[in-house]
Amino acid sequence: MNRVTLKQLADILGLSTGTVSKALKDYYDISPETKRRVKELAEKLNYVPNALAVNFRTKETKTIGLIIPEVVHHFFSNVIKGIIEEAEKLNYLVIILPSNESFELEKKQLNLLVSKQVDGIIMSLANKTIDYKHINEVIDKNIPVILFDKISKLVKCSKIIIDDRKAAYNATNHLIKTGCKKIAHIRGPLEPQNSIDRFLGYKKALDENNIEYLSNFVYTCDEVSFEEGYQFAEQIIKDHPDIDGIFAITDLVATGVITKLNELNIKIPEQVSVIGFSDWFLSRAITPSLTTIYQPGLEIGKNCFSQLIKEIQFKKNNTNYNYETITLPTSLIVRNSTKTI
């Protein structure tokens, strides 16, 4: 059985499509008897309203787009969950497209979302994104865009972020307070603002504690993976046998570090302390459990959606508004991979 159309209902009942449509929506100018007949038939034939047609009239699709760098990723999964939970409450649908950290794919996905006429777009930049023309063009078309996590100051739009520099400062400072003096940093790629900020937070903590910053204590990830943490851990021990602390850009990398140090029978935290960033699920489960910075993924997702909806409404009502940057709090989670103070 194919889907029943409004027109078929109208034909069967000998009514106009307009009358049928109004009856289904309980318009006051349709008689109760007509409403009853229409609704009975609609139910009998399993009629489902044509959502696209509704969208045509309101000029809204009640659909938003979400571009994320990586789908299989604890932090981004939480952001997705936060966005779709909020979207559901307002009956918005979310189209999720991955950029796989590729600049080219990010551009393609953005154009696809625009061509599908989503009401707004939420995105986190790919690691390989080096210019922002594609995003600024979308904003110029008056389509609201919200950036989160991996943002650029060169895009003029609202942003939902954490204070990466402060959080990384706190992480590094915790290592120093627990007695670490030779601290390596496994950083993210050179482009993303959050990887720059976490590096600067690390550097600031060293400076304020009169520990000399040495560039050969910094290792740069390309993919920000478990494998890179695993490999850099071995390299760090080789380059600096007296290392006593490692601050990794994310828990995934830190988990690779812990796995390798365990294999090398290096005691954590007695010989080397390890701190991560983001509080992934696995950080509770590894041995030793990982001290880290909690990054509120669910709340970031929820804030992205509510900010986007605000801007969609402003735009609909032709209200001027200012872009907002919302900074959500992080916190230090002390577990067993660092020493007690």
Question: Residue 27 or residue 281: which is nearer to its own copies going by CB?
Answer: 281
Measured from the CB of residue 251, what is the shortest distance to its own copies in angstroms? 10
Question: Residue 117 or residue 235: which is nearer to its own copies going by CB?
Answer: 117
Measured from the CB of residue 31, what is the shortest distance to its own copies in angstroms? 26
Task: For residues 301 and 282, give the distance between their C-alpha atoms in angstroms, rounded to a whole number.
Answer: 21
Task: For residues 151 and 192, give the distance between their C-alpha atoms in angstroms, rounded to a whole number.
Answer: 7
Nearest to 8 by CA among 41, 57, 51, 40: 41
**Side-chain-side CA neighbours of residue 218 (13 Å):** 19
Strands (E), 240-309: 245-248, 273-275, 292-294
Residues paired with 220 in a beta bridge? 187
Task: For residues 94 and 31, give the distance between their C-alpha atoms in angstroms, rounded to a whole number.
Answer: 38
User: Which stretches of the chain bind its own copies, using CB under 8 A?
Assistant: 1-3, 46, 48-52, 55-56, 61, 63, 71-74, 77-78, 80-81, 84-85, 88, 91, 93-98, 111-112, 114-117, 137, 140-143, 226, 255-256, 258-259, 262, 281-282, 284-287
Measured from the CB of residue 285, what is the shortest distance to its own copies in angstroms? 5
Give the three-class secondary structure for 254: helix
Question: Residue 162 or residue 286: which is nearer to its own copies going by CB?
Answer: 286
Question: Residue 142 or residue 216: which is nearer to its own copies going by CB?
Answer: 142
Question: Residue 218 or residue 282: which is nearer to its own copies going by CB?
Answer: 282
Measured from the CB of residue 218, what is the shortest distance to its own copies in angstroms? 24
DSSP string covering 88-120: HHTT-EEEEEE-TT-HHHHHHHHHHHHHTT-SE
Residue pair 126/104 in contact (Cβ under 8 Å)? The answer is no
Residue pair 102/126 in contact (Cβ under 8 Å)? The answer is yes
- What is the number of residues in the chain? 341
Measured from the CB of residue 79, what is the shortest distance to its own copies in angstroms? 10
Measured from the CB of residue 217, what is the shortest distance to its own copies in angstroms? 24
Question: Residue 93 or residue 334: which is nearer to its own copies going by CB?
Answer: 93
* Sheet-wide strand order for 183-187: 218-220, 183-187, 245-248, 273-275
Measured from the CB of residue 283, what is the shortest distance to its own copies in angstroms? 9
Q: How many CB atoms lie within 10 A of CB 267?
A: 10
Q: Report the Cα 172 to chain-centroid distance in Å.
A: 24
Residues paired with 292 in a beta bridge? 333
Measured from the CB of residue 317, what is the shortest distance to its own copies in angstroms? 14
Question: Residue 108 or residue 240: which is nearer to its own copies going by CB?
Answer: 108
